[in-house]
């Protein structure tokens, strides 16, 4: 039977180039049995002395005692230090993965307890409620639900024909007009769902769960302006597609309302670049992270999308907040809080920022409250804290992992306990 002690020992020996041929095959089989194992293995290979010490710790004393021992004795009283947390999560993941491995090895046919994605379950049964479906609101206020069963032509809008393939909608220039004036469309994703859209100018946008984007059916003005809630990753076309195959240099601007709707917000102006915007209402700040190109971020606020096409930039600023702006280079991140104050992070964790786009959770020393917000959006659960719970946790795991396994891994690190009650998760110490 493959125990977490045994697997940790194999990984440690691999790092030291001491594996026999039989051990190599065993470790390779463990890595290939599920994506969680591969992710954990790859992460440990990238770590330095800390990973080496943790592996040695868990290949010796941890398995016999059944307890998590602090990596640094002087920090024994600090329940949630980085080293202890990483060690505990490592043990949890190794234990879960080893259990899967042994079950596959024995072919017992037993299934681990799993919490099924509520939205996916409903959709597969054909009973998905409207709140669990990706919705496209057209300019005439009619709503089209973009279920996986719908493909092909969706609608004809002002100078745009809308087509859908899988989890992506594409707007294409058209000479036909279903309406006489420029209109605005909104795509909204529910919890536990992501969706992609190709805008009329050829720019691509990926929406995370519980997010939305509002945009014109054709970019015919001097600027390409969209509004976003939640989280979205952009790949902006520097030479926007237009009718008759003509191109024009038009600034691309993303307007975002402030957290908790305090009357402020942020504006991201680009010409052609890749960047991510995180602007969930329950997050403390708006985060704009640049991956490629260059963007200008400011604490501008647009009170209404339709007005944005006609208002001047200075008219969109919050009257209470002095203007702040900064130009980002790749790897940097701009933070704008609910009061409009801006802060620049020079070295952002790009892997953590883009984890959602790769269907991975990456929690690097992250507060439990922020972790639970992400889990609530991904698995469509409500979160309740029965009492004040503090602590920071480190965990890397795929978003397809059953919810109970993620909660178990967090519990193994100590200081937090979860209870599932229907569609609710109660959190306590």
Look at residue 132 in the predicted model and tell me its pLDDT. Answer: 79
Look at residue 120 in the predicted model and tell me its pLDDT. Answer: 44
Look at residue 346 in the predicted model and tell me its pLDDT. Answer: 92
The span from the CA of 311 to the CA of 426, in Å, is: 46
Look at residue 36 in the predicted model and tell me its pLDDT. Answer: 66
Look at residue 40 in the predicted model and tell me its pLDDT. Answer: 75
Query: How many C-beta atoms surround the C-beta of residue 314 within 10 A?
Result: 8
Residue 291 in tokens: 């991956």
Residue 184 in tokens: 């605005």
Return the CATH number of 359-428, one of 3.40.50.450, 1.10.287.70, 3.55.50.30, 3.30.70.260.
Answer: 3.55.50.30
Look at residue 111 in the predicted model and tell me its pLDDT. Answer: 33
**Consecutive 10-residue averages of pLDDT for the chain (429 residues):** 66 79 78 72 65 56 39 34 48 49 40 38 50 86 82 81 87 68 89 92 93 90 89 90 60 82 78 90 90 90 55 47 85 90 92 92 90 92 88 87 90 88 90
CATH topology assigned to domain 119-351: Jelly Rolls (2.60.120)
> DSSP labels for 363-378?
EEEEEHHHHHHHHHHH
The span from the CA of 414 to the CA of 353, in Å, is: 26
Look at residue 54 in the predicted model and tell me its pLDDT. Answer: 59
Look at residue 15 in the predicted model and tell me its pLDDT. Answer: 75
Give the start-to-end residue ranges of the domains of the chain.
Answer: 4-106, 119-351, 359-428
Q: What are phi and psi of 225, to 5 degrees?
A: -120, 130
Q: Counting beta carbons within 10 angstroms of the beta carbon of residue 59, is it exposed (0 to 12), middle (13 to 18) or buried (19 or more)?
A: buried
Look at residue 355 in the predicted model and tell me its pLDDT. Answer: 92
The span from the CA of 222 to the CA of 11, in Å, is: 57
* Sole residue written with tokens 């200081």: 415
């Amino acid at each position: 039977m493959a125990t977490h002690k045994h697997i940790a020992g194999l990984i440690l020996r691999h790092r030291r180039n001491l594996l026999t041929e039989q051990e190599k095959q065993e470790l390779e089989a463990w890595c290939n049995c599920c994506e969680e194992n591969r992710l954990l293995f790859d992460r440990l290979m990238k770590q330095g002395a800390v990973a080496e010490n943790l592996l040695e710790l868990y290949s010796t004393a941890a398995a016999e005692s059944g307890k998590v021992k602090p990596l640094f004795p002087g920090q024994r009283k600090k329940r949630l230090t980085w080293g202890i947390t990483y060690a505990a999560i490592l043990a949890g993941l190794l234990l879960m993965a080893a259990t899967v491995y042994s079950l596959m090895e024995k072919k017992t046919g037993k299934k681990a307890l799993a919490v099924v994605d509520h939205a996916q379950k409903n959709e597969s049964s054909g009973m998905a409620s409207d709140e669990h479906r990706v919705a496209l609101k057209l300019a005439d206020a009619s709503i089209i639900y973009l279920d996986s069963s719908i493909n092909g032509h969706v609608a004809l809008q002002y100078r745009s024909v809308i087509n859908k393939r899988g989890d992506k909608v594409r707007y294409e220039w058209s000479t036909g007009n279903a309406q006489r004036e420029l209109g605005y469309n909104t795509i909204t994703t529910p919890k536990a769902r992501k969706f992609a859209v190709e805008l009329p100018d050829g720019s691509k946008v990926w929406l995370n769960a519980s997010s939305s984007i509002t945009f014109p059916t054709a970019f015919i003005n001097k600027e390409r302006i969209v509004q976003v809630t939640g989280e979205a990753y952009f790949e902006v076309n520097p030479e926007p597609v237009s009718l008759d195959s003509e191109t024009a240099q038009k600034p691309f601007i993303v307007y975002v309302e402030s957290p908790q709707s305090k009357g402020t917000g942020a504006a991201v102006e680009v010409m052609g670049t890749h960047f991510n915007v995180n602007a969930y209402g329950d997050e403390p700040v708006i985060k704009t992270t640049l991956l490629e190109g260059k963007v200008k971020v400011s604490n501008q606020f647009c009170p209404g999308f339709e007005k944005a096409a006609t208002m001047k930039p200075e008219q969109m600023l919050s009257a209470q907040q002095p203007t702040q702006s900064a130009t980002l280079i790749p790897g940097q991140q701009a933070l704008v809080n609910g009061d409009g104050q801006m802060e620049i992070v020079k070295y952002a964790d790009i892997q953590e920022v883009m984890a959602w786009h790769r269907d991975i959770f990456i929690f690097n020393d992250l507060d439990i409250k922020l972790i639970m917000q992400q889990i609530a959006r991904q698995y469509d659960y409500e979160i309740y804290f029965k009492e004040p719970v503090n602590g920071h946790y480190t965990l890397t795991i795929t978003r397809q992992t059953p919810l109970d396994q993620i909660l178990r891994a967090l519990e193994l690190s100590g200081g937090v306990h979860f209870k599932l009650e229907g569609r609710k998760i109660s959190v306590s110490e």
